[in-house]
Structure 1
């Protein structure tokens, strides 16, 4: 599939420059387990404002316990998707450090932290949540689709972000992979220490995105990032 002129392929990552030629905002979006940065690049390109650049990076390939040790793009190891199951704490923290580096690169390029949105789907959404909460500056917002909050028992002690960080969680109530209960529990916990957290539920939606969900993402981005 050919990429549009406003895309740049950098290794396995997909980077999009501002459509109006001058970026004053940015979104970093993290794919789910086994996917690549290309998987979400077209959707992010469609919903971003013309002044926003984007980065859809690809995770390193690694063996994943949940998938019988088969190697695939993964931000960290997933051992189980059961509530209260064992987590790859070292891998999650290492991945979050990498995401913090991506955010810092955007800031070095001239985009203020408060005009950077962090988001992701499934495992990528989980990492986006953890990374945003453990980043000391206030981001414009964080989007978590069909995901959960990793290392949830360490919060709110692990939180270093401002209490005003806007969070949008989106989850289908028929998700057979990442149970809707994960979204509900994560939302309840986040509400206990953040002032602006919302959970949008999509009836009948499985482990995927819907047009309404994409529309809600766009509205959230437009609300978090005022036009210059």
Structure 2
């Protein structure tokens, strides 16, 4: 597996694959890290997924973009964010989840633009249509990829929401109606103290009611990616690879 640092569209990225020299990938997977994580936070997932499904190694290109905002001003020099979060969220204080669900976060539009520019550049470089690109992310990365997946002119191959949550509720509900049948893998910890489990259920229900094909994987854990989620994600990606 090779790992290359490059820039796709407006975003710096780590690209990992084992595609033979001169060959083109048959599927691309874009995975976005969460708020406060370093740009390379999810890069080890590529090798873990390939170990679970070795067939992915020679046919799938994994792309890990760095979120556009630096959090160095908050004393975290290597931390990145897709958009700013309210102070009560950062402090882990009691939150009004109903208000959070309908809010459109400040900076989301800029994050969306950056991720869409990446997808355009990735599609051009690999000759893959958006229908051969899987989007996904952890926590805030899951929020921004959900937003983009519902907005693209062409539906992506699939969406992986790893401990994400519901935002932009009214707009997402409207846009989800045009994504009937989109395969979605969503996981969330039952004791998540960062993004409430109940909010993940609300997101699941919104997508399911709109006709998306959602596989919901709850697990007994906190705000993290569980081993059983990775196992199912490897199978999910393999299915997307072989489905034409």
Which TM-score bucket, shorter chain as reference? 0.7 to 0.9
Tell me if structure 1 keeps the 8 A contact 2:188–2:218.
yes
Matched with 2:205 is 188
Tell me if structure 2 keeps the 8 A contact 1:63–1:77.
no
Matched with 2:2 is 6
1:135 partner SS? coil
Aligned CA distance change for structure 1 residues 176 and 89 (closer, same or farther; 3 Å): closer
Give the CA deviation at 1:161. Answer: 4.9
- Structure 2 unaligned segments of length 5 or more: list them: 51-55, 90-94
1:56 equivalent in alignment to 2:58 = no
Tell me if structure 2 keeps the 8 A contact 1:127–1:150.
no
TM-score normalised by L of structure 2: 0.81
Deviations 1:94-143 (Å, cap 9, x if unpaired)? 21122111111121121121111000000001111111011120211010
Residues matched between the structures, number: 220
- Structure 1 unaligned segments of length 5 or more: list them: none
Separation in 1 of the partners of 2:75 and 2:210?
Answer: 37
Matched with 1:47 is 49
1:209 equivalent in alignment to 2:225 = yes
TM-score normalised by L of structure 1: 0.86
How does 1:155-170 map onto structure 2 within 5 Å?
155-159=172-176, 161-170=178-187
Separation in 1 of the partners of 2:75 and 2:201?
Answer: 30
Separation in 2 of the partners of 1:70 and 1:152?
Answer: 32
Give the CA deviation at 1:78. Answer: 1.2
Residue number among 81, 84, 93 corresponding to 1:74 in the alignment: 81
Separation in 1 of the partners of 2:171 and 2:183?
Answer: 20
1:222 equivalent in alignment to 2:244 = no
Residue number among 32, 35, 45 corresponding to 1:33 in the alignment: 35
Tell me if structure 2 keeps the 8 A contact 1:136–1:161.
no
Give the CA deviation at 1:70. Answer: 6.1
The higher-RCO structure (CA 8 Å, 6+ apart) is 2
Aligned CA distance change for structure 1 residues 162 and 111 (closer, same or farther; 3 Å): same
The structure richer in helix per residue is: 2
1:118 equivalent in alignment to 2:135 = yes
